Amino acid sequence: MNKKRNQPHPDASPDSCFTGNNETWQIFQIIAEFVEGYERLSHISPSVSIFGSARTPSSDPQFKLAQQISGRLSDEGFSIVTGGGPGMMEAGNLGASEGKSLSIGLNIQLPFEECNNPYQDISLKFRHFFSRKTMFIKYASAYVCMPGGYGTLDELSEILVLIQTAKVRAIPIILVCSEFWQGLVSWFDDVLVKQKMISPEDMNLFEMADTPDEVIKIIKTHHAENDLASDQHSLSVRL
């Protein structure tokens, strides 16, 4: 006798798609995140994705710097995209909300994280990091990385790999606060390059900056040389 016939079938109702217990329904949940992201963000270009720590308090000078950078970029016509949370993400959305362009938050649902910040013109919710990261990258004309932890490093390494492997067109990757990033950059050069884990040319995939003016100059120079704004789809991840 086949005992499997006596086992109950898993719940296949639409509601079960959101329980996380049914892998088949999770596929549709993932597809839904991509569809909503594509539909709601297709008009935001040019945009700049800003990353950084969720733990940075509003009193920190780095918070103020992120706010100033996003405000300046917003006034220059760039939509600002962040992870939608507190800290540097809030600084980015706050600065964008004070500027002329859209402020966008790609919020991730986590069991231990804080609530989303209130400075978002467009707010999306994601359960999956990979679909969320695709939206960060797909419409970005530049990446601005403020000081942060594992999440920021994850997002930085993702775009470095995609550009290095020509999965996306090269866009500016700007590491803001050179004192914070210098140790990592030195390790890239002293260890990864010297041991031939990466090519010397890979060190040119990013630049460091310390002021809003430097960030603006890097992005505008790259746009003038590459005409990124007129070719949005070439920035898309080749899935």
Q: Is the pLDDT of residue 175 over 60?
A: yes
**Segment 195-221, tens digit of pLDDT:** 999 999 999 999 999 999 999 999 999
What are the tens digits of pLDDT across the range 2-57?
433 444 444 444 444 455 567 888 899 999 999 999 999 999 989 999 999 999 99
Structural domains in the chain plus CATH codes? 47-222 (3.40.50.450)
Q: Please tell me the predicted confidence (pLDDT) of residue 239.
A: 40
Would you state the pLDDT for residue 169?
93
Q: Which of 16-30, 163-177, 223-237 has the lowest mean pLDDT?
A: 223-237
pLDDT digit string (tens) for 94-148?
Answer: 999 999 999 999 999 988 766 899 999 999 999 999 999 999 999 999 999 999 9
pLDDT attached to residue 114: 65
Please say if the pLDDT value at position 233 is more than 70.
no
Whole-angstrom CA distances from 215 to 45, 146, 238 are 18, 11, 27
Give the rounded distance of the alpha carbon of 198 from its chain centre.
23
Give the closest residue to 205 by CA, choosing from 235, 175, 239, 238: 175
Q: Stretch 84-99: mean pLDDT, rounded? A: 98
Q: In the prediction, which pLDDT does 19 show?
A: 52
Going across the sheet that includes 122-126, the strands are 122-126, 103-108, 79-82, 47-51, 140-145, 173-176, 207-209
Q: What is the mean pLDDT of residues 156-165?
A: 97
pTM of the predicted model as reported, rounded to 2 decimal places? 0.85
In single-letter form, the type of residue at position 56 comes to T
